[in-house]
Chain A
Amino acid sequence: MAYSDKVVDHYNNPRNVGSLPKDDPNVGTGLVGAPECGDVMKLQMKINPETQVIEEAKFKTFGCGSAIASSSLATEWVKGKTVSEALSIKNTDIVRELSLPPVKIHCSVLAEDAIKAAIRNWKTKHGVEAAAEEKVAH
């Protein structure tokens, strides 16, 4: 099976590879995996708590070309978006952009899950604080 040009491009020149400090309160980390192929994907975003804008995004993926391309594309897409905009990214958007064949759809699902997991992690970090503030207010 041949990879599409876009997958090859992301695979050869992955965007935003690396990591952000996990303990930074503004950084959300999503770690997800697909058991059928043993892929693991880590996606991190630095989110401005005032504007809710994703200022930085990094990924590191161990897996096939499609998994790497999906996560690379995901970091490109979320950068500059707000949290709610990023949450509206669907795996089917990634499938379309990268022309993934049916057997590789789970890679795009993984990328969508990673975005959601990272945002969930960030929200938990802030949700705890917000809950504490609420208590004080009441």
Chain B
Amino acid sequence: MSATRTASMSPLICWSCRERALGPHFCSNCGKIQQLPRDVDYFAFFGLPRKLWIEGAELEKKFLQLSWQLHPDNFVHATEREKDLSLERSSQLNDAYRTLREPVSRVEYLLAIEGARKEGEQKQQAPPELLEEVFGLNESLDELREAKAGGGDLSALKTRLEAAENNFQEKLAEVDEQLQGIAREWDAALDNNVENVARNKLMARMNDLLNRRSYIRNLVRNVAAELTG
């Protein structure tokens, strides 16, 4: 596996032995735990390139290994500085693992560090072809709430909503499949050192899919809550 985009880490000077400390976590010279260099992202944290295909078992293995190495129990007799670093690093490790473990949050994170998705700053567009359906579904949900409150007939409404829920679940599966497809294209683009324009296009498509996904997921959640409640 090529690790082209991991190598952006700049080696720091070790705070303890004053040598250049290679590697993101421990000094390659004296073995002391290091402050995390600012440019180490969650991928680099695990020594991974910024690729979207990550073998779950491999990631878990790296996670377990690092949590063992960074665990505060190993630093009981160390200096305060090392204790602090181990605590800080262990919590970063958990965040990094949680983010990269889920394929969707992995894509979100990648787009965030690549600057293609900034919450709030950039205006996110809602998928227009979905709006009509979403609006209709919300109206049905309203009807159901009213019928519940007024003791009206629920069965017909419930059947309709269950059908809608299934329909949106299918859409969710479709979006996930499309995301996987683009993720593969992204990885191939990294392997082939494709120019930025093409990479940005891929990121824009992933961004659209993520928007679509969050929209559908919220709907499914609302419908499910209303049907069980």
Chain A positions within 8 Å of B, measured between CB atoms, are 31-38, 40, 42, 60, 62, 102-103, 106, 109
User: Interface majority SS on B: helix, strand, loop or mixed?
Assistant: helix
Contact with A along B201-229 (1 / 0, CB 8 A): 00000000001101100110010000000
A39 (CB) vs chain B CBs: closest residue: B126
Q: Are A38 and B120 in contact (CB under 8 A)?
A: no
Contact with A along B180-211 (1 / 0, CB 8 A): 00000000000000000000000000000001
Contact with A along B121-140 (1 / 0, CB 8 A): 00111110011101100100
- A and B contact pairs by CB, cutoff 8 A, 13 listed: A32-B131, A33-B126, A33-B130, A34-B126, A35-B124, A35-B214, A36-B214, A38-B215, A38-B218, A38-B222, A62-B135, A62-B138, A106-B123
B119 CB within 8 Å of chain A: yes
The total of Cβ contacts below 8 Å across the A-B interface reads 46
Decide yes or no: A33 and B120 within 8 Å by CB, A38-B218, A38-B219 being known contacts. no
Chain B positions within 8 Å of A, measured between CB atoms, are 119-120, 123-127, 130-132, 134-135, 138, 142, 211-212, 214-215, 218-219, 222
Q: Residues of B contacting A40 with CB < 8 Å?
A: 126, 131, 134-135, 138
The 9 closest A-B pairs by CB, nearest first: A33-B126, A38-B218, A35-B211, A62-B138, A35-B126, A35-B124, A33-B131, A31-B131, A35-B215
Q: Are A36 and B119 in contact (CB under 8 A)?
A: yes
Q: Are B214 and A31 in contact (CB under 8 A)?
A: no
Q: Are A103 and B123 in contact (CB under 8 A)?
A: no
Smallest distance from the beta carbon of B121 to chain A beta carbons, Å?
11
Q: Residues of B contacting A62 with CB < 8 Å?
A: 135, 138, 142
Q: Are A35 and B125 in contact (CB under 8 A)?
A: yes
Q: Are B214 and A38 in contact (CB under 8 A)?
A: yes
Q: Residues of A contacting B123 with CB < 8 Å?
A: 106, 109
Q: Residues of B contacting A37 with CB < 8 Å?
A: 218
The answer for the CA separation of A109 and B132 in the assembled complex, in Å, is 19
Q: Are A32 and B120 in contact (CB under 8 A)?
A: no
Smallest distance from the beta carbon of A118 to chain B beta carbons, Å?
13
Q: Residues of A contacting B130 with CB < 8 Å?
A: 33
Q: Are B135 and A31 in contact (CB under 8 A)?
A: yes
Smallest distance from the beta carbon of B38 to chain A beta carbons, Å?
26
Q: Residues of A contacting B120 with CB < 8 Å?
A: 36, 102-103, 106
The answer for the CA separation of A102 and B119 in the assembled complex, in Å, is 12
Smallest distance from the beta carbon of A133 to chain B beta carbons, Å?
29
Q: Residues of A contacting B142 with CB < 8 Å?
A: 62
